[in-house]
């Protein structure tokens, strides 16, 4: 089996699910002949036709709303946001209409909203966002944010098969930078289960998406330079969150560093910290600490973006302090 990129893994999942299930279809801006801004849907329209790979007007609320309507009728739409930053235009539709459909009206709403997310790519404040925290407090939605090609494929397949709406965030920094050989069989990764990306004894880093790789890099350096054994937990699913995996790693290492790329205040680290407090307080030998972006819109210039976003060096520095605590 050849290695495939994170991006290619996503494309494979779309292809395979569309082949498998005629109710799956894609809609979004420029996803047809052009194949999408990042070419994720390249070749899909050629294979499945204009009827199942639909170029839409620039209207994210309509894309999401129309997907919901089609989903009620038994379809399984996959919406692309050209950049995930534009999901904010569909915020009302997602949080009020889609998320509540089953609960308030017994309407099934199986759909996926996916799109390129995250920074580290000089995209500036409107092409680099991490929207997970904005949706975390909306019951009725699910949120996944894979860090590996294998998880990208497996989670997207699970998302498409899920009977509720799944927000599928793709880290654009990873699109073409990571490669992996994928399992040959129909590869589905269950939503709601974290992945132990590295085993360790001294300290746990809990993270997801692009910063998983920074955490792993930091872990290696800390092992090499400080002899520290670092565990890295890749959450993969943010809603629902894998409490068991979180508690297990806290019990094991008793020291937790949460790393995420989103801004500090109101980022998901807060929720994780609260859960650790509630479920594993007695196992903590040190405060749960956070390495995150600074509380500013993400700037464009490389020195500014580098300064605002969490870097491997930051994780190393923070982990050293926490290990010494």
Partner 1 sequence: MGTRAGGSSNGGRRRNGGTTTAAQPAAGAAMRAPDRTDTARDAQSGLSRAQRLELYYYMRLTRSLEERLVNLYRQTKVVGGLFRSLGQEADAVGSAYALDRSKGDILSPLIRNLGSMLVQGARPAEILRQYMAKGDSPTRGRELNIHYGDLVRGFIGQISHLGDMVPVMAGVTLSFKMRGQDRVGLVYVGDGATSTGAFHEGLNFAAVQRCPLVVVVENNGYAYSTPVAKQTAAAQFLDKAAGYGIAGERADGNDVLATYQVTKRAVDRARAGGGVTLIELLTYRRKGHAEHDNQSYVPPGEIEHWERENDPLDRYSRALLASGDVDSQELAAIDARAQQEIDAAAADAEAAPMPVGPDALVGVYADPPAAEMLWFRSGVTSAVAVHERPAGWGTHDA
Ligand X SMILES: Cc1ncc(C[n+]2csc(CCOP(=O)(O)OP(=O)(O)O)c2C)c(N)n1
Active-site positions read 127
> Total residues at the site for a copy of itself (CB under 8 A)?
48
In the window 162-221, what residues touch partner 1 (CB under 8 A)? 162-164, 172, 175-177, 217
- 33 belongs to the binding site for ligand X (CB under 6 A): no
User: In terms of CB distance, is 1 or 282 closer to partner 1?
Assistant: 282
Q: Which of 93, 74, 71, 87 minimizes the C-alpha distance to 29? A: 87
Residue 163 burial (C-beta neighbours within 10 Å; 0-12, 13-18, 19+): exposed
- 58 belongs to the binding site for ligand X (CB under 6 A): yes
User: In terms of CB distance, is 21 or 306 closer to partner 1?
Assistant: 306
Interacting residue with a copy of itself among 85, 164, 234, 242 (CB under 8 A): 85
Residue 4 Cβ vs partner 1, minimum distance, rounded to whole Å: 17
Residue 39 Cβ vs partner 1, minimum distance, rounded to whole Å: 8
With CB under 5 to 8 Å by kind, the binding choice for 133 among ligand X, a copy of itself, partner 1, none is a copy of itself
- 91 belongs to the binding site for a copy of itself (CB under 8 A): yes
With CB under 5 to 8 Å by kind, the binding choice for 63 among ligand X, partner 1, a copy of itself, none is partner 1
Interacting residue with partner 1 among 8, 17, 29, 242 (CB under 8 A): 29
In the window 220-239, what residues touch a copy of itself (CB under 8 A)? 239
- 137 belongs to the binding site for partner 1 (CB under 8 A): no
Distance CA 127, CA 279 (A): 36
Distance CA 59, CA 61 (A): 6
The dihedral over CA atoms of 287, 293, 295, 300, expressed in degrees to the nearest 10, equals 170
In the window 79-98, what residues touch ligand X (CB under 6 A)? 82, 86, 89
- 46 belongs to the binding site for partner 1 (CB under 8 A): no
Buried b (16+ CB within 10 A) or exposed e, 65-86: bbbbebbeeebbbbbbbbbbbb
- Residues sharing a CB contact under 8 Å with residue 94, sequence separation 6 or more, in sequence order: 64, 87, 113, 135, 138, 141, 165, 167
In the window 54-83, what residues touch partner 1 (CB under 8 A)? 54-59, 61-75, 77, 82-83
CA 128, 292, 79, 89 torsion-angle sign: negative
CA 180, 186, 192, 198 torsion-angle sign: negative
The dihedral over CA atoms of 301, 302, 305, 309, expressed in degrees to the nearest 10, equals 180
Contacts with ligand X by CB under 6 A lie at 29, 58, 60, 82, 86, 89
């Amino acid at each position: 089996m050849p290695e495939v990129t994170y991006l290619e893994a996503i494309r494979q999942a779309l292809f395979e699910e569309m082949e498998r299930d005629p109710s799956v279809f894609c809609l979004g801006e420029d996803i047809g002949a052009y194949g999408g801004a990042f070419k994720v849907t390249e070749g899909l329209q050629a294979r499945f036709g204009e009827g199942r790979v639909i170029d839409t007007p620039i209207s994210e609320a309509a894309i999401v709303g129309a997907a919901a309507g089609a989903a009620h009728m038994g379809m399984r739409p996959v919406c692309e946001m050209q950049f995930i930053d534009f999901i904010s235009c569909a915020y009302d539709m997602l949080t009020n209409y889609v998320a509540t459909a089953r609960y308030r009206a017994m309407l099934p709403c199986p759909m996926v909203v996916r799109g390129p997310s995250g920074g580290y790519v000089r995209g500036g404040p409107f092409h680099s966002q991490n929207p997970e925290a904005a949706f975390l407090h909306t019951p009725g939605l699910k949120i996944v944010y894979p860090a590996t090609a294998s998880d990208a494929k497996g989670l997207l397949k699970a998302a498409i098969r899920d009977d509720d709406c799944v927000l599928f965030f793709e880290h654009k920094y990873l699109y073409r930078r990571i490669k992996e050989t994928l399992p040959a069989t129909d590869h589905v990764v269950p939503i709601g289960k974290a992945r132990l990306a590295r085993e360790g004894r001294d300290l746990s880093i809990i993270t997801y998406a692009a910063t998983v790789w920074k955490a792993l890099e930091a872990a290696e350096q800390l092992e090499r330079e400080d002899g520290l054994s670092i565990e890295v937990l890749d959450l993969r699913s943010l809603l629902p969150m894998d409490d068991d995996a979180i508690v297990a790693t806290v019990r094991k290492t008793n020291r937790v560093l949460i790393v995420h790329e989103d801004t500090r205040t109101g980022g998901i680290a807060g929720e994780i910290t609260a859960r650790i407090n509630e479920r594993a307080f007695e196992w903590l030998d040190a405060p749960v600490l956070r390495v995150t972006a600074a509380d500013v819109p993400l700037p464009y210039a490389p020195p500014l973006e580098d300064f605002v976003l969490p870097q491997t060096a930051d994780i190393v520095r923070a982990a050293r302090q926490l290990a010494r605590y």
